[in-house]
Amino acid sequence: MSNKQARRDDRPLPVALPAVLTTARNRVAIMGYQQPLLYVSSEQLRINARRFRAAMPKVRPHFAVKSNPDRRILDVLHEEGIHFEVASRSELAVLLDMGVDPDNIFYSNPVKPDDYIRYAVSHGVRWYAVDSVAEVEKMHRHAPKASLYLRISVSNRG
């Protein structure tokens, strides 16, 4: 579609509840936001988490904290039984402060500083991603009893 043909599409996303959309529009109007903003409905977040878990009861979903570290979002997901994936010490600290069980946290940064590993291990995190021999060796040095999962690169052909 060329620029001349491009049109603004103001239709709501199909996942948006009408009440959520109305609330968001009202908030924007009242606050006079001039910058882009992200409006998240905790109600819709709960609904989505429950739908996901009901559709795949044998799957343990892990929310990537880096995708949205807002404590209110993390609290809702934690209440709904969603587990977490972290890539930094600060993300892990937030979850630990919330009381998230370390068994429900995956540490998946492919390159982990030694002190981050020691911190995670000292707080009970058992699951770590590795994608190189060097990371396997580092994990063996600092967390020989850790559970590892291997990240692999594939061609996506065939």
Answer CATH for 60-158 from 1.10.150.170, 3.20.20.10, 3.40.309.10, 3.20.20.70: 3.20.20.10
Q: Tell whether the model's pLDDT for residue 90 goes beyond 50.
A: yes
Q: What is the pLDDT of residues 30-58, one digit of tens each?
A: 777 777 777 788 998 999 999 999 999 99
By the 8 A CB rule, do 26 and 56 touch?
Answer: no
What pLDDT shows up at residue 38? 75
Domains of the chain, residue spans:
14-56, 60-158
**Tokens describing residue 55:** 């559709």
By the 8 A CB rule, do 52 and 64 touch?
Answer: no
Query: What angle do the packed helices 89-98 and 114-122 form, to 10 degrees?
Result: 10
What pLDDT shows up at residue 76? 97
Q: What is the pTM of this model?
A: 0.77
pLDDT average, residue stretch 90-94: 97
Supply the mean pLDDT for the chain.
88
The full DSSP string for 12-41 is PPTT--HHHHHHHHHHHHHHT--S------
Q: In the chain, what percentage of residues exceed pLDDT 70?
A: 89
Q: Tell whether the model's pLDDT for residue 133 goes beyond 50.
A: yes
pLDDT average, residue stretch 92-117: 95
pLDDT band, residue 3 (cuts 50/70/90)? very low
By the 8 A CB rule, do 37 and 28 touch?
Answer: yes
